[in-house]
Amino acid sequence: MESRYLMTTYGRPGPALVRGQGAYAWDADGKEYLDFITGLGVLALGHCHPAVVEAVCRQAGEMIHCSNLFHIENQARLAQALAEGTGMARAFFCNSGAEANEAAIKLARKHAGAGRFRVISALNSFHGRTLATLAATGQTAHQAGFEPMPDGFDHVPFNDLAALEAAAGPQTCAVLLEPVQGEGGINPADPAYLAGVRQLCDRRGLVLIFDEVQCGLGRTGKLLAAEHFGVRPDIVTLAKALGGGFPIGAILATEQVAATFKPGDHASTFGGNPLACAAALVTLRVLQDGVVEHAARMGEYFRRGLAELAGRRRQVVQVRGLGLMLAAELDRPGQAVVDACRDRGLLINCTAQRVLRFLPPLIIGEAEVGRALSVLDEVLAE
Ligand code: PLP
């Protein structure tokens, strides 16, 4: 039915997953998988966390949607929780990471005023698949066939402050960066680089946008990855993990930048509806109730295991990442390893051709990490 009725945008060699619990998922034939993809970094609390299930079911019975024409209590509560948790001032809610980045670009352009519209982002970045976020994405492979890209996007090598400084011109309004590049191969920023970018933005009056769609919300062992670097962005974008599996995205901004948006400037029919915000409120509460710290500890544990494995298996050329956003770069394409792991009941993903990407649920335990490492070891030994 898929091959007959769906557009063929996804290559799907994998099984049909029909049930999930915690770090595990089961396919339609009852086969069990340890899930180190978690819906591409979405299921921070694992599959079907009981608190998320309870909150979604309860809210679904009260009110699913009402539109932003009306006050939405859950939305205000979620904005408050995000502001208090991150130190940012105000939120706008949408439905996905790409939409969050679109909103951030619009906010930065309006904030800068007429004539300043260019956004600088990094090579190897990934910011989404809508036309503007695709133009911001620093990978021409994703853009091929969809040209011309919207005007106003410049790309510079990641972690190269001089290149960024040279690219910033009179029309530049913002710098858009992932503190840890995800899809581009799990590349953390250098702390000195991000500090330098902040100073550059302050000197030139540029808005600094951090895309934390993948690296935010505890994934790196801090609520925002920015905390690792001691750098505060003017806008941060979130999605993926925010709703515990329910679609919701957000931008958070400082008071000064947020004040640019006036009624009618930006909107979303579904953005921040009561059901999405109920899912996000409970997800955030559980994350802040010790899960983020747990992720930091488990990230260290997993990383040590991967480093030991790299010492034994010469195909692994580098282990890198932050918290539970980890990668093992191979000296060869990684898809065969991904397929063999899946056959043995471990779901992992490969990005940038040779980079095995690990995004386990943040509630993962040592036993599961150990199991994943031994499957990986077996597969690499073969
Ligand atoms: N930004 C980053 C850093 C991402 O990793 C992604 C998705 O992988 C996006 C934006 C786009 O998010 P979405 O697929 O929800 O539009």
Sign, CA torsion 215/218/222/224? positive
Top-level class of domain 73-286: alpha beta
Distance of CA 41 from the midpoint of ligand 1 (Å): 10
Distance of CA 80 from the midpoint of ligand 1 (Å): 24
Mean pLDDT per block of 10 residues along the chain (382 residues) reads 92 90 98 98 98 98 97 98 98 98 98 97 98 97 96 98 98 98 98 98 98 98 98 98 98 98 98 98 98 98 98 97 98 97 98 97 98 98 95
Enter the DSSP assignment of 206: P
- Amino acid 12: pLDDT: 81
Per-residue CA distances from 11 to 2, 3, 6, 179, 197 (Å):
11, 11, 11, 28, 37
Q: Which of 126, 154, 164 is nearest to 142 (CA)?
A: 126
- Cis bond upstream, residue 148 (ω within 30): yes
* Helix extents (H) in the chain: 2-5, 38-41, 50-62, 73-86, 97-112, 131-136, 140-143, 161-167, 191-204, 226-229, 255-258, 274-286, 292-312, 335-343, 366-381
Task: Tell which one of 214, 215, 270 to mutate to probe ligand 1, the residue whose CB is within 8 A of the most ligand atoms.
Answer: 214
CB-based burial of residue 61 (10 Å sphere; 0-12 exposed, 13-18 middle, 19+ buried)? exposed
Distance of CA 74 from the midpoint of ligand 1 (Å): 24
- Amino acid 11: pLDDT: 85
- Confirm or reject: Cβ of 135 under 6 Å from ligand 1: no
Residue nearest to atom 12 of ligand 1 (CA): 97
Contact 231, 130 (CB under 8 A): no
- Amino acid 60: pLDDT: 98
Q: Which of 356, 360, 346, 343 is nearest to 313 (CA)?
A: 356
| Per-domain residue ranges of the chain | 73-286
Q: Which residues contact 195 (CB under 8 A, 6 or more apart)?
A: 229, 230, 231
AA identity, residue 223: L
The whole-angstrom separation of Cα 321 and Cα 182 is 9
- Give the Cβ contact number of residue 40 at 10 Å: 15
User: Could you list the active site residues?
Assistant: 126, 211, 240
- Confirm or reject: Cβ of 98 under 6 Å from ligand 1: yes
Residue nearest to atom 1 of ligand 1 (CA): 127
The whole-angstrom separation of Cα 64 and Cα 62 is 7
Task: Tell which one of 127, 219, 235 to mutate to probe ligand 1, the residue whose CB is within 8 A of the most ligand atoms.
Answer: 127
- Confirm or reject: Cβ of 182 under 6 Å from ligand 1: yes
- Amino acid 318: pLDDT: 98
Residue 223, classed as helix, strand or coil, is: coil
- Confirm or reject: Cβ of 186 under 6 Å from ligand 1: no
The whole-angstrom separation of Cα 192 and Cα 180 is 14
- Give the Cβ contact number of residue 294 at 10 Å: 18
Q: Which of 201, 202, 233 is nearest to 215 (CA)?
A: 233
- Amino acid 235: pLDDT: 99
